[in-house]
């Protein structure tokens, strides 16, 4: 039997170690969007932001619904916000952070499977990697270079051609 091993690098640093101004702004935008999450059912606020190849930044937050399956994640709202507001821009990085009542989130909140698949679609669409940054409440920053690292052996449009 052949065994295929999959691994990837998850970088970790302190927020103060981030020197790129655009990445700082990206992370700050994700934090700002926590305040406009609509999460009365889970009380779990997710803020996200997308940086594009031409230096624009668009945010998104989760928007919940009494009919739970209709809840929309912050990451997807940020990506769709980007696609609507600046259709000629290419996403190059996504930042994600979360906040909940009474508990400091000190581990990186990873994008759910659906959001990974949607981020992947934009990587496939533009033939680029999208860096994923995860910011914790105690200001640690985690980074993966591509969502493919978080979704190995994934399904994309190449299977359909």
Q: Using CB under 6 A as the criterion, which residues of the chain lie in contact with ligand THU when the complex forms?
A: 39, 42, 44, 46, 62, 64, 71, 73-75, 111-112, 115
Q: How far is the CB of 111 from ligand THU (least distance, A)?
A: 4
For residue 35, the minimal CB distance to ligand THU (Å) is 14
User: Shortest Cβ distance from residue 122 to ligand THU (Å)?
Assistant: 15
For ligand THU, the closer CB: 115 or 144: 115
CB of 7 to ligand THU, least distance (A): 22
Is 16 among the residues known to form the active site?
no
End-to-end CA distance of the chain: 30
For residue 138, what are the contacts with CB-CB under 8 A and spacing of at least 6? 104, 106
CB–CB of 120/86 below 8 Å? Answer: no
Nearer to ligand THU (CB atom), residue 33 or residue 92: 33
Catalytic residue among 16, 17, 75, 101: 75
Q: Is 145 exposed, middle or buried (0-12, 13-18, 19+ CB in 10 A)?
A: middle
Q: How many Å apart are CA 106 and CA 87, to the nearest integer?
A: 35
Rounded alpha-carbon distances, angstroms, from residue 122 to 9, 132, 156 = 21, 13, 10
Q: Between 108 and 111, name the residue whose CB sits nearer to ligand THU.
A: 111
The residue among 62 and 82 lying less far from ligand THU, judged by its C-beta, is: 62
Residue 97's nearest CA partner among 22, 44, 39, 150 is 44
Question: What amino acid positions are annotated as catalytic residues?
Answer: 75
């Amino acid at each position: 039997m052949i065994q295929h091993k999959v691994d990837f690098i998850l970088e970790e640093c302190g927020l103060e170690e981030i020197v790129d101004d655009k990445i700082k702004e990206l992370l700050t935008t994700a934090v700002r969007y926590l305040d406009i999450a609509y999460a009365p059912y889970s009380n779990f606020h997710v803020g996200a932001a997308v940086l594009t190849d031409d230096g624009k930044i668009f945010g998104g937050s989760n928007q919940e619904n009494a009919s739970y399956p209709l809840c929309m994640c912050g990451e997807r709202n940020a990506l769709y916000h980007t696609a609507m507001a600046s259709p000629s821009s290419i996403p190059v990085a996504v930042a994600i952070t979360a906040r909940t009542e009474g508990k400091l989130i000190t581990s990186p909140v990873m994008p759910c499977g659906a959001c990974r698949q949607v981020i992947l679609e934009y990587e496939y669409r533009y033939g680029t990697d999208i860096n994923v940054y995860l910011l914790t409440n105690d200001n640690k920053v985690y980074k993966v270079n591509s969502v493919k690292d978080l979704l190995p052996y994934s399904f994309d449009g190449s299977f359909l051609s």
